[in-house]
Structure 1
């Protein structure tokens, strides 16, 4: 059965103080925007969804070094397709999973907060996987995997798979590991291990890096959003 050439990008609906002066984490903009562009260029229809139908942008992701001018133009233009879909974000009850062949969890540290309990998003991703589609995540998006179950095994779809995601070393370098522990949330490395997956580290925390294992495609950090989406398209085209 051929998969629908439609991609669903999940967006975190959480936000919390993380940066100096209490500035907040939320959606890391380019981690959704770059995949959105890649999927569209590859001929996919693309929709955006969060667990509550709401989101807040991550403060760091709006700074010059993380949001190049070309991306900023799209982000600030409410009539751009990307921004207008963010402004009218869907929620899980709006989504028919069987209409999508690819699920992509974008991130931001905030996804560590809501993705582990995002039953609506998890159920959509699980359905897309069971139907033979691709499930992908970048950076902290992997926080969603422990709850995406394969009904035939009752285990996470990444059980026995190789995955990557944001490194614990990166959390230490950013000085945010203590905050994540205060949230009572595991790092991506820890949540991969708890799901029975083998975590594969990029050479450096900020290097573009992606891993494909069967129909699971993961990326390490914001710099990997583009290549991870490309790898997800390649996996999809190989179905």
Structure 2
């Protein structure tokens, strides 16, 4: 029996200064919005959850370069399905992991802060995996994998091909020192430490995704749509 055709999008609840003038990182809006649209169009019910039930938008993700007019219309419409679910975020305690066939970790640099210790979200992802569902993450969402384990307690990404935001990309953005000040590893370093095979995209900003069985990962904001599409494709192969 295939897992339920229902997806849970995890959202970071952290925020911290990252950009010039002290502007903050938080949820990179399109990394949740684009997968939400993909899943809904593929016939999934979709819920959003963060570790605390709260979120803050990433400043960069709300600029015109990253939030295009159609996306902005949905995000700023408090009556849109996406915005209503964002504004009424679930907590892990309100989620039954067995209800979901896809777990998808959206991101934003803030994910590096809270995802490694997000025990509630990690337990949900681990249960979805144990139930035979698809576990997916985009960009910095891979920070969640520090606590997503299989039935033997091993990281689900161990020995698997994964991608995520590149260390080179962090250098280009000039935020590597800030990440170090958070005492957090880059996604590349974290994946390697968990025994995964990190696969770099052709360039830090190129749309790029990796599928390894029921594990699906994407490299950056431009990869949010293709990663969600790959997660749906992996789900549709399940029996």
TM-score by length of 2: 0.99
Query: How many residue pairs end up in the alignment?
Result: 238
C-alpha separation between the residues in 2 aligned to 1:102 and 1:75?
23
Partner of 1:116, secondary structure, is: helix
Post-superposition offset of 1:191 = 0.5
Alignment of structure 1 residues 33-182 onto 2, 5 Å:
33-152=33-152, 154-182=153-181
Cα deviation for residue 2 of structure 1 reads: 1.3
- CA distance in structure 2 between the partners assigned to 1:108 and 1:98 by the alignment: 26
C-alpha displacement at 1:183, in angstroms? 0.2
Contact residue 146 and residue 194 of structure 1 kept, 8 A: no
Equivalence for 2:219: 220
Q: Secondary structure at the match of 1:156?
A: coil
> Take 1:136 and 1:149, find their aligned partners in 2: how far apart are those partners?
13
Please give the alpha-carbon distance, in whole angstroms, between the structure 2 residues aligned to 1:148 and 1:98.
Answer: 15
Q: Which structure 2 residue ranges, 5 or more long, are not aligned? A: none
**TM-score scaled by structure 1?**
0.99
Runs of 4+ with deviation above 4 angstroms: none
Shift of 1:7: 0.1
Question: C-alpha distance in 2, partners of 1:26/1:4?
Answer: 29
Is there any run of 5+ residues in structure 1 with no aligned partner, and where?
none
Output the CA distance in 2 between the equivalents of 1:171 and 1:208: 16
Q: CA RMSD in A?
A: 0.4
SS at match of 1:8: strand
Shift of 1:146: 1.5
